[in-house]
A and B are shown apart, each in its own frame.
Chain A
Amino acid sequence: MIIYLKNIWETYATVFEGMAITFSYLLQRPITVQYPDRMKESVPETLPEKYRGRLMVDTELCTACGLCAKACPIDVIEMKGGRAEGKKGLRLIYFNIYHGKCMYCNLCVEACPAEDGEEDEHHTAIYFKKNFEGSSYTLNGLVEQFIPPDEARRRLKESEEIAAKRAAAAAETTKNSEAKQESDKPKDGGDV
């Protein structure tokens, strides 16, 4: 009999407690974030410091060394560097990132040697933006070309010209040096 009454009491007591809890939730603000159109602040501002969004490259800073492309385990980065007029070292000819493939592993960023000297989150030439929006209806839409195709074609031509020029110059020097070597060669010890 006592158990019987206790059961009844417990039923009411637990239902009472449960209803108090749900009612307290009724008075709280929902935690739902109404993305994307009813946000008070833009989404990237709300993200954590080390958030990895879309991969991005600073084409000015980049030295076209190709280490990121080598570091990438799934060939997300497709790039080529070439010589340029009036610039020491290499310059980018094209730099394409296949966002559809990227798995945000950060290996390319670790490999990048080009730094701008600041201590912020993106001090390397290749870095992750906080922006994550970039859906596309086609797979090709997920390929981002940081150097526009026209510009890339122009740069390729330029670098090829320079390369050809240098090759010619190099050929000249080798010819000269060969000729010099020829003249310096002792006459009898020729074929060994």
Chain B
Amino acid sequence: MINLIYMFVFSLVYLLLLALTAGILTYVERRIAGRMQSRIGPNRVGIQGILQFIADLIKGVQKEDIIPADAYAFLFKIAPYLVFMGVFLTLVPIPFGAYTLMEDLDVGIYYVLAMASYVVIGLMIGGWASNNKWSLLGGMRSAAQKISYEIPAALGVFIVVIMSGSMNFQKIVAAQGASPVDWFVFRNPFTFIAFNLFFIASLAEGNRVPFDIPEAESELVSGYNTEYSGMRFLFFFLAEWGNLVVIGALVTCMFFGGGSFWYEWKISIPAPGRDPIVFEVLGFLWFLFKTFFFVFVIIWIRWTLPRLRIDQLMDICWKYMVPIGLISSLGIVIWMYFIPENSTIDRIVRLTLTSLGAITVLYFKYRVYKNLKITKATIYANPFV
């Protein structure tokens, strides 16, 4: 009974936090988009417009909840919640800290992939129950895209699972370390490829630009959610932005060392003699920092790249990502057989990849500086205008 109450309370807290984060992310995304387009973005509601998402929410609640006359009302009503639930449930096994997680599942990654596919059902139901052929087609498109990109995502996850020898998120994080050299992303070339596969496939699964063909807000009438209005419509968007957090958290866990933040400290094994609470909090904050960095990257990609064509989308998936994923999952097995962990070659490869990453970041800084010089603009880094 007590367990049941705990479960209820914690899921409520998680739900509220996710909803709040997703809401704030809509605001953050609009601000970032504005600055990238030399605009300001919403800055009128509250201090610097921070309450904009609440205003949007109130507007959504006020709107009439329209259900088309010939729609299948029950499924039509339930579809947005299914989609949101699918996104919310993926948060369950993600370790925000050694103890800050809902359930330490042994099949954590498998469960996350399953729940990500579960979203597809919600989208299909929403599209079908609207009794609108465009909605149905939109739902089909979304479903087709999500299912196709499950394969590269699963291949990327597969490589991580082979590397760490477990599907448990805690163990995956523990298999990595605090310093970039220990992260899976720089561990060897195949895990680096796995990171790219998983990240790109996650964008496609989350219907984010450049893979937002099913929704294509500037070209189509939004796909599966055409017939929705008011709060139900907002639920789809809540799910979309909640998904950003999920993608960021997954990438952090699987490739960027999770919440480990100090040398030799692994997230699931609090070292004896250290205050666990301090480390828990620090690890949690470090995890959140990484997560929101990737959320920022996803938003940044959205406002940089144009949309792909459908044939390009298929090309990327079937001609590039799937073959590369298959080759690297073969490669990782061979690599692990011939090159044991912490051997000289392993260390050299890690260091090389990490320095390549650092060089990329430095070159990126140089390019940004060049672009600023070309436009002859003065730097104004203050996010508030």
Contacts and interface: CB of A to CB of B under 8 A. Distances in A.
A25 interface: yes
Contact of A21 (B35, B39, B301, B371): B371
Contacts of B305: 15, 18
B39 A30 contact: yes
A29 B37 CA distance: 10
A23 B300 contact: yes
A34 B368 CA distance: 27
A183 interface: no
A10 to B, nearest CB: 12
A17 B367 contact: yes
B38 A31 contact: yes
A26 B371 contact: no
Interface string A1-27: 000100110000001111111111111
A25 B38 contact: yes
Nearest to B382: A29
A114 B372 CA distance: 52
B108 to A, nearest CB: 30
A136 interface: no
B379 interface: yes
A28 interface: yes
B35 A26 contact: yes
A91 B385 CA distance: 52
Nearest to B323: A4
Given A16-B364, A18-B304, A19-B304, A25 B378 contact: no
Given A15-B305, A18-B305, A24-B375, A30 B38 contact: yes
B385 A20 contact: no
Contact of A30 (B40, B303, B360): B40
Interface in B279-317: 300-301, 303-305
Given A27-B380, A28-B372, A22 B36 contact: yes
Which of B301, B305, B368, B369 gathers the greatest number of chain A CB atoms within 10 Å?
A: B368
B32 interface: yes
Contacts of B32: 26
Interface in B330-368: 360, 364, 367-368
Contact of A25 (B35, B369, B385): B35
A130 B370 CA distance: 39
Contact of B300 (A4, A7, A19, A34): A19
B377 interface: yes
A25 B381 contact: no
A22 B303 contact: yes
A32 interface: yes
A31 B320 CA distance: 41
B372 A22 contact: no
A48 B207 CA distance: 46
Contacts of B381: 27
B34 interface: yes
A21 B38 CA distance: 12
A24 B304 contact: no
A29 B385 contact: yes
Given A18-B304, A18-B305, A19-B304, A30 B371 contact: no
Contacts of B37: 25
A30 B34 contact: yes
Contacts of A28: 35, 38, 372, 375, 377-380
A34 B40 CA distance: 9
Given A22-B300, A23-B300, A30 B368 contact: no
Contacts of A24: 368-369, 371-372, 375, 377
B296 to A, nearest CB: 10
Contacts of B304: 15, 18-19, 21-22
Contacts of B368: 20, 23-24, 27
Interface string B173-204: 00000000000000000000000000000000
Contacts of B36: 22, 25-26
5 contacts: A17-B367, A19-B304, A26-B35, A28-B379, A30-B35
Given A22-B36, A27-B377, 9 more contacts: A24-B368, A24-B369, A25-B37, A27-B379, A28-B375, A29-B377, A30-B39, A30-B385, A32-B385
